[in-house]
Amino acid sequence: MEYVNLGRSGLKISRIALGCMSFGSSKWAPWVLDEEASVPIIAKAVEHGINFFDMADMYSNGASEEVVAKVLKPLVPRHKLVLATKLYNPMSSDPNDRGLSRKHVFEAVDGSLKRLGTDYIDLYQLHRFDYGTPLEETLDALDDVVRAGKVRYLGASSMHAWQFMKAIGLQRQHGWAQFVSMQPHFNLIYREEEREMLPLCRSEGVGVIPWSPLARGLLAGRRKEDEAATLRAKTDGTANALYDRTRVQDDAVIDAVRKVAERHGRPMAQIAYAWVASRPGISAPIVGISKLHQFDDALAALDIKLTDADVAEMEAPYNAKNVAGHV
């Protein structure tokens, strides 16, 4: 496994991050793996040298953090792990148990620390932008949890580039701890972040850890009729909101990936992963693994060298989309 700095920070992360939304409790979503089924996948990630585990407090209402921490504890010393989690989404019906207020930042970080069984979080990320809380309030609170030693580094996820740059500017103005990473929605079917967010991150030295690099399996060649039969496809409202299965332009992108994959003698998933991982400024794609064999594609992709012609062929059919993934 190769390790790289997360942006300009000194934090070393594996070139693949394991997304942990699939681990936790099937009571939260029927496609989520319970603890027993999660063990072999998390253990295999460790075996492959993955040190970066991306979570969120809202995944399985906290059970994801608990399961991942419990499985990792006997496998890897804490100092060798990069544990990342997020806050923002509702954790209960309480109106203050959500968002990015000072009150919730303090309570959310303590809740995650307890579930993770650790006294610090390596990367603490804003899951979304909070339009109901002054940005200064959020950033001041985040600085406090860093100064208190509860958090080592700060990151953010899907938001508009102007919002992210405004936050960075305020952090610099006040001498607050700065964001070192951005987690955007980014793949061959959704490339809107290329307009402003990715150039901004490269300019400011912010590491990029994109989510959904396979577009919920569409770029792996999963056919519409096959997908309709899967449990996750039937119950994952987020996927249905992000991707229009009837979009002709997306089919053209998928067909281009298929042609490049055939030319390389590789599965489509490897080519799609390789494209994301090789884009300028990308630190590590976040991969979702629910079956052990899926590691093969994610790992093999790191060794694939796409030609300029390959990249041009896959990018050519793309057409602009509405923003998706910011809410």
pLDDT average, residue stretch 71-98:
98
Main-chain phi, psi angles of 208, to 5 degrees: -115, 125
Instruction: Report the pLDDT value the prediction gives residue 175, as an integer from 0 to 100.
Output: 98
Q: How far apart are CA 93 and CA 69, in angstroms?
A: 26
Instruction: Report the pLDDT value the prediction gives residue 275, as an integer from 0 to 100.
Output: 98
| 17 falls within a domain | yes
Strands 151-157 vs 179-183: parallel, antiparallel or unpaired: parallel
| 259 falls within a domain | no
Residue 101: how many other CB atoms lie within 10 Å: 19
Structural Rg of the chain based on CA atoms: 19
- Average pLDDT over all residues of the chain: 94
Q: How far apart are CA 277 and CA 16, in angstroms?
A: 9
- pLDDT of 152-193, one tens digit each? 999 999 999 999 999 999 999 999 999 999 999 999 999 999
Q: How far apart are CA 156 and CA 128, in angstroms?
A: 7
DSSP label at residue 178: P
Instruction: Report the pLDDT value the prediction gives residue 307, as an integer from 0 to 100.
Output: 98
- The beta strands (E) that lie in 139-278 are given as 151-157, 179-183, 207-208
How many structural domains compose the chain? Answer: 1
- pLDDT of 109-127, one tens digit each? 999 999 999 999 999 999 9
Q: How far apart are CA 190 and CA 71, in angstroms?
A: 33
| 167 falls within a domain | yes
Listed residue (151, 204, 106, 164) closest to 11, CA to CA = 151
What range does the domain containing 107 cover?
A: 3-220+273-305
Strands 3-5 vs 12-14: parallel, antiparallel or unpaired: antiparallel
Q: How far apart are CA 65 and CA 56, in angstroms?
A: 7
DSSP label at residue 118: S
Tokens of 84: 């990342």
Q: For residue 48, with 0-12 CB atoms within 10 Å meaning exposed, 13-18 middle and 19 or more buried, which class applies? A: middle
Instruction: Report the pLDDT value the prediction gives residue 191, as an integer from 0 to 100.
Output: 97
Instruction: Report the pLDDT value the prediction gives residue 326, as an integer from 0 to 100.
Output: 81
pLDDT at 240 over 70: no
| 243 falls within a domain | no
**Known catalytic residues?**
59
Rounded alpha-carbon distances, angstroms, from residue 49 to 23, 273, 291: 19, 18, 17
Q: How far apart are CA 9 and CA 210, in angstroms?
A: 17
| 124 falls within a domain | yes
User: Domain with 197 in it: what CATH number?
Assistant: 3.20.20.100
| 242 falls within a domain | no
Q: How far apart are CA 198 and CA 201, in angstroms?
A: 5
pLDDT at 255 over 80: yes
- pLDDT of 35-76, one tens digit each? 999 999 999 999 999 999 999 999 999 999 999 999 999 999
Alpha helices in the chain (DSSP H): 35-47, 63-72, 102-116, 135-147, 161-174, 197-204, 224-227, 231-235, 237-242, 248-264, 268-278, 294-301, 308-315
| 322 falls within a domain | no
- pLDDT of 7-39, one tens digit each? 999 999 999 999 999 999 999 999 999 999 999
pLDDT at 233 over 60: no
Instruction: Report the pLDDT value the prediction gives residue 32, as an integer from 0 to 100.
Output: 97
Contact predicate 268/233, CB 8 Å: no
| 238 falls within a domain | no
Q: How far apart are CA 188 and CA 321, in angstroms?
A: 12
Q: How far apart are CA 283 and CA 207, in angstroms?
A: 6
| 3-state secondary structure at position 128 | coil
Contact predicate 49/1, CB 8 Å: yes
> Confidence band (pLDDT; 50, 70, 90) for 249?
confident
- pLDDT of 311-325, one tens digit each? 999 999 999 999 988
Instruction: Report the pLDDT value the prediction gives residue 242, as an integer from 0 to 100.
Output: 79
Q: How far apart are CA 154 and CA 113, in angstroms?
A: 15
Q: How far apart are CA 185 and CA 95, in angstroms?
A: 27
Cα diameter, the chain: 54
pLDDT > 70: what percent of the chain? 93
